[in-house]
Amino acid sequence: MIGFCRDCFWTGDQAVRRCPTCGSPRIVTHPQVGELAIAHMDCDAFYASVEKRDRPELRDLPVIVGGGTRGVVTTCCYIARIKGVRSAMPMFKAMAACPEAVVIKPDFAKYKAESKRILGLAAGLTPLIQTLSLDEAWMDLSGTERLHGAPPAITLAKLQARIEAETGLTVSIGLAPNKFLAKIASELDKPRGFSVIGREAQAFLAPKLVRILPGVGPAMVASLEKAGYRTVGDLARTDRKVLAERWGAQGLRLSELALGHDTRAVNPNEARKAISAETTFNDDLSRISDLEDKLAPLCERVARQARAGAVAGRVVTLKLRATDFRIVTRRRTLPIATQTAKTLFQVGRELLAREATGKPWRLIGIGIADLIDADSAGGDFFADLERKALANERSIDAIRARFGTDAMTTGRNLKAKASQEEP
């Protein structure tokens, strides 16, 4: 098989412009399309698409999911993207770029329910699904040809069509020999795309800027460009020892990625790397007491997620955003992994005290990283104080589960809520 039709699923051993069976132009052609089995599935503008599906009158309008003039864009539809709106963009900039946009407050309960539906359909094809977020996942369909009576590419195309028919939402799929290339492929033809990257990976990657590589953020881009590595091809042509000498293990990783290599398996059991929560203030805050009032409920939210997921974190991370949008992060490694709000707040306020020196801030966030399975830990895993805090917070979880989230709260949270309700 060299090509197939995404509408009637015709397959053929030659490249064609239109399907010889149904006449559709939606043809996928690639020399290896019948051999590859690693896929990345990405929902198209997921949150905005859910809102448009539920409110048909918004179909032809630019939609931004976010909130507040001082917040940021959670996601936006493709019409808004044409106007220059992007995820994580400050709302005031988004509204300046697209003043006619309809702004909708996120409804994460609804998005989680839709994610569960979509991933449930995918789980019927293979148990090897590794989710990255609510709207994207890797899949490994190796060895499923006999089970589904078709190569993985056809099985994925049928899944894509079924998701659209049953949920009213669309996904894009990237098919490749590994996870890295599959994720890149899924971005090539959005929305409703189906793209393939195979043996041509190195030539395809060569002209791309280094920022396309996972783990290469703005600081690493600057470091690479300063050293003369602007494109992926620049890295691919460099001896891996040279990169290792300068950037250590990360240099070796970049060398492999630049060549299109990625040995990571699709692992359904791979733990989340971090849990975090943040909030943007209506007005800039500089007093440490005001910042702590915002920090406390975030600590509770992160801790609840950790307990619900049966994980604990060894690293606490504090995030602050200044009025000029500069981001400050501070980390502390704990002697004992935590999943309690008490420890998170204690460490977070100590990190905060070093930064809250009178300067105004517009956002604060807290998170835990280096997660481990809390349930697999031995009886002495938690120190006495941590164990007592954990028992107390689990009791609160039980009460809230029975009587509602407002059944119990802290004095600090009541104070913060009262201040928000003041005229």
The Cβ of residue 21 has, within 10 Å, a number of other Cβ atoms equal to: 13
- Bridge partner residues of 38 (DSSP): 140, 176
- Of 98, 92, 119, the C-alpha closest to 48 is 98
Residues recognised as catalytic: 136
Using CA atoms, how far apart are residues 216 and 378, in angstroms rounded to an integer? 37
The runs of H, that is alpha helices, within 55-186 are: 78-82, 91-97, 108-123, 145-148, 152-167, 179-186
Using CA atoms, how far apart are residues 341 and 325, in angstroms rounded to an integer? 27
Helix (H, G, I), strand (E, B) or coil at 220: helix
Helix (H, G, I), strand (E, B) or coil at 324: coil
Tokens of 104: 């909708």
For 358, left (φ over 0), alpha (ψ -120 to 50), or beta? left
Amino acid at 168: G
- Would you say 311 and 339 are in contact if contact means Cβ atoms under 8 Å apart? yes
